[in-house]
A = this chain, B = another copy of it.
Amino acid sequence: MIIVLKENPNKEQLEFFLAWLEDKGFQIHQSIGESHMILGLVGDTATLDIDLITALDIVDNVKRVQEPYKKANRKFHPEDTVIDLGCTKIGGGNLTIMAGPCSVESEEQIIAVAKAVKESGATILRGGAFKPRTSPYSFQGKGKEGIDLLLEAKRETGLPIVTEIMELSQLDLFDEIDVIQVGARNMQNFNLLKELGKTDKPIMIKRGMSATFEELLMSAEYVMSQGNEKVILCERGIRTFETFTRNTLDLSAIPVLKELSHLPVIIDPSHATGKARLVAPMALAAVAGGTDGLIIEVHNDPPRALCDGSQSLRPEAFDELMKKISPLHKLMSEMK
């Protein structure tokens, strides 16, 4: 339920009202709309009498929120959420470019790629230390050593880091990681989401292979329900009958998620298409479609990459793409 207050509500009446609501067991989520304060209620609002509340002096109007997600709902939080990492921001008009290799393989590799992508304009470095592999016999990532190498690349280039967590027990290794990624296969690992919601880290949740927009937002809600509101949504392709592409990139996720929610939306054209030569067109399409950012796999030697080489861009190709993204984003911003 959304309660929109009138401008400049009487302080006393407001305090009394908030206390009355809390007493009834509701979580109250205060937010500033254009010029009005908005109270988002989470709880069993079916019991509240809309007419009674609308009649209050300080209340302008009341709307029941049908969607099961509340904190992630734009109705609760009309302004875009902007996540500030210090040296860069995600959301709210900024264009975030996360780039790096599928997995961290060696110090030489990660430093080289980090420098290259930074040079080309990337704002965040990605790299996998803990890899989700369909086969137990495949390379599972360098683990803690991978995290250390990422942090070294951060020290050398100043780039913040986004990397995937596979299991709660790994959490204490993520202290200096800037954005924690929850992979598509873990999008409904509810316990993991709840625990990450108790941290203060920005969490990027990848849409599950066959997750609906609503389910993605409910996963965001899991994190936010524990108090952590720094959530980023990432579309990485959904599973369909088409086999030429690895997945089907659903770019409608950009306008849809930005309508339903206030959280930033990132597009992953690498995992979505599975083919390096399709990454650039889809990245450009995403920028024109209004995305808050991209996450792109870049490897200095794709044929020899330990995983996903076929969808990785060489640094030169990434640089070429960035030289197009820049003027494109500028034009789209001007045309808004």
Q: Are A210 and B212 in contact (CB under 8 A)?
A: no
Contacts of A277 in B (CB 8 A): 255, 259
A311 within 8 Å of B (CB atoms): no
What's the Cα separation between A225 and B136 when bound, in Å? 7
Chain B residue at minimal CB-CB distance from A42: B137
Q: Are B259 and A273 in contact (CB under 8 A)?
A: no
Beyond A68-B134, A240-B250, list 10 extra A-B contacts (CB 8 Å). Answer: A68-B137, A166-B190, A169-B191, A212-B243, A238-B240, A248-B248, A249-B252, A284-B289, A284-B332, A324-B335
A133 within 8 Å of B (CB atoms): yes
Q: How far is the CB of A71 from chain B (nearest CB, A)?
A: 10
Q: Are B289 and A188 in contact (CB under 8 A)?
A: no
Q: Are A212 and B241 in contact (CB under 8 A)?
A: yes
Contacts of A244 in B (CB 8 A): 212-214, 256
Supply 18 A–B pairs (Cβ within 8 Å), ascending by A. Answer: A68-B135, A68-B137, A134-B218, A136-B190, A166-B191, A186-B189, A209-B210, A213-B244, A214-B244, A238-B241, A248-B252, A254-B285, A255-B281, A259-B277, A284-B288, A285-B289, A288-B288, A324-B335
Interface residues of A in 259-317 (CB under 8 A from B): 259, 272-273, 277-278, 281-282, 284-290
Given A136-B222, A185-B188, A218-B134, the answer on whether A245 and B239 have CB atoms closer than 8 Å is no
Cβ 8 A contact of A250, one of B185, B191, B242, B255: B242
Cβ 8 A contact of A248, one of B240, B290, B328: B240
Contacts of A192 in B (CB 8 A): 167
Interface residues of A in 153-169 (CB under 8 A from B): 166-169
Contacts of A136 in B (CB 8 A): 190, 194, 218, 221-222, 225
Chain B residue at minimal CB-CB distance from A209: B210
| Most chain B beta carbons < 10 A, residue from A213, A221, A252 | A252
Q: Are B282 and A255 in contact (CB under 8 A)?
A: yes
Q: How far is the CB of A242 from chain B (nearest CB, A)?
A: 6
What's the Cα separation between A133 and B190 when bound, in Å? 8
